[in-house]
Amino acid sequence: MRRRHVHKKSVFILLFIISAVFILLSRGLFSSSGDHALKAVDAFYKYEQEGNFSGSWEMFHPYMKLKFTKGHYLQDRAHVFMNHFGVDTFTYSLGKPKKLKNWQPPSEEFDLGIVYKVPVTQVFKGKYGNFSLHQEVFVVRVKKDWMILWDYNK
């Protein structure tokens, strides 16, 4: 009698372990590119929210890094958001990523392939009251990294 009880317990533990491993693997293996793009945008805005503009700048696509140097970006972001808006931080929300096949920055130099567009809303509470900033953020995979672009198209 004792052996059956131990055997049932072992089978239950084994099934639990197999189920847990399957769930963990399926999340990693079956997550979509849209999920990865969304995670990249979330990481970017977490950096921005913390005032870690160096971390967010590193996530920019090379096209964006041609728009402004790292030093200029660090100084400008802190100056505009913290000094001009009079805020310490902000909250943000992300919309659903949308897959785009033909989106391209104004530069012909970069062939991006598939791009994801993610709507972002930042909410600021500062010396000039509460306000929201809405921006479409574009995300593309370059080798193994997901990189951020902003829209400069006319």
Say yes or no: 19 and 91 in one domain: no
What is the DSSP annotation of 31-53?
--HHHHHHHHHHHHHHHHHTT-H
Say yes or no: 49 and 125 in one domain: yes
Say yes or no: 79 and 129 in one domain: yes
Q: Mean pLDDT per 10-residue run, the chain (154 residues)?
A: 61 64 51 89 96 96 94 90 82 97 83 92 91 96 94 86
pLDDT value of residue 78: 84
CATH of the domain at 125: 3.10.450.100
Give the pairing type, strands 129-142 and 145-150.
Answer: antiparallel
Instruction: Note down the domain range covering 21.
Output: 1-30
Say yes or no: 15 and 88 in one domain: no
DSSP 79: I
Closest C-alpha to 41, from 56, 54, 27? 56
Give the pairing type, strands 98-100 and 129-142.
Answer: unpaired
pLDDT value of residue 30: 46
Say yes or no: 107 and 79 in one domain: yes
Question: How many other C-beta atoms are found inside a 10 Å radius of the C-beta of residue 87?
Answer: 18
Say yes or no: 14 and 61 in one domain: no
